[in-house]
Chain A
Amino acid sequence: MNTKCAECDGPINVPNDVIVGEIVSCRDCGVEYEVSEIRGGVALLKPAETVEEDWGE
């Protein structure tokens, strides 16, 4: 199943056998989403918690 990224409108490919808690990411901008629920065969996504990189500058 496919869905769109809320950040950039890019494609997110969600495997058909995805399970709750799995992380999927946007091909174009790299934003990560966590599968929060599967309802009626459709995976609902929420932004995954990410650690901001410290660039040290």
Chain B
Amino acid sequence: MVRVGVVASSGYIGGELLRLLLQHPQVDLTVATSRSYAGEYVFRVHPNLRGVTNLTFTEFNQGTLTEKADLVFTALPHGESVKYIPQLAKTGLKIVDMSADFRLKDPSKYKSWYGFDHPSPDLLRKFVYAIPEINREEVRGATLVSSPGCMAITSILALAPLLKQSSFPIDAEHIVVDAKIGSSGAGGKPSLSTHFSERYNVVRPYKPAGHRHSAEIEQVLSGLAGEEVKVSMSAHAVNMVRGILCTCHLFSSGSPQPLEIWKAYRSMYDGSYFVRIVRDKKGPFRLPDPKIVIGSNFCDVGFEQEGRTGRVVALGATDNLIKGAAGNAIQSMNLMLGLDERAGLNYAPLHPV
């Protein structure tokens, strides 16, 4: 059994990490920290875990973590992780960080996208940005891992085959990502904008331009394409609790045909259990839809093409808290520890939800 701790585990991502880790056959969950709820039973904050665990939250303590855990997940807010991880990394603990603080390789990008000078630029190179379907071998055996943003991973998985494997030219400077996300993507801290009367029934454009996830999407896609990729992203809050749909638009000067696009997707995701290609001619769910992945670590990807304009529409759907966060992080942990990639994650999605 691997001993695992979760730092800052009272939020939605922390709660989802706890839920999945408690059911993982090769994990012993030993520590769950929360500054706000230290001393409280975990199930009082995450009521779905009543009867599943009698663990209580503890204060963050580096000594306790190194004593009781072999690997820790850090679910601290952006800008907070970077204050704790440099010391934690020195202990030799394996770390999977859920924040944005170690996702970007170029330190100067933190100033432009997050508004601060990164205090540990050397550490950025040591972290592996982990999407197993993209860089499985790099994740395997890594000690320090940074887990992607939920909209980033969903759009990257939808777009990657077209940037890496396609046999037709893509305009790499004009890629548009239109993302719709449920309310849990905003985290567990309430505000006026998440108040039920204000949030219910919205289709709210909350970041039509300059979304921070653009930086990590560009970083990964540029690496795959072998040239600089520019992504224009717009995000919308919609009337779901969980789920993301990314509708991505690419333009080609050629006229890509369905068969060659199919081949690009098959070639990229052959052997990747958690990515399903959905482009069906039957039934109501013919293309990816978040409704069909809720409760699972699956990312459904699909596409459509428009010969008249040279446009290819690439779609990705995930449960934002699982493949968009905790599930992908645990999948990465499995690789880091040499376990079966599916361990603790092999759940079929819920239906109907």
A residues in contact (CB < 8 Å) with B: 6-10, 25, 28-32, 50
Contacts and interface: CB of A to CB of B under 8 A. Distances in A.
B280 A29 contact: yes
Given A31-B281, A50-B281, 6 more contacts: A6-B259, A7-B259, A8-B262, A9-B259, A10-B262, A29-B280
Contact of A28 (B259, B263, B277, B283): B277
Nearest to B286: A30
Interface in B262-310: 262-263, 266, 277, 279-283
Contacts, number: 27
B266 A32 contact: no
A50 B282 CA distance: 10
A10 B283 CA distance: 18
Contacts of A6: 259
Contacts of A31: 281
B258 interface: yes
Nearest to B260: A9
B266 A9 contact: yes
Contacts of A32: 281
Interface in B230-261: 258-259
Find the residue from B279, B281, B282, B283 having the highest chain A CB count within 10 A: B281
Contacts of B262: 7-10, 29
A30 B266 contact: no
Q: Which 3 residue pairs of A and B lie closest in terms of their CB atoms, listed nearest first? A: A30-B281, A30-B282, A8-B262
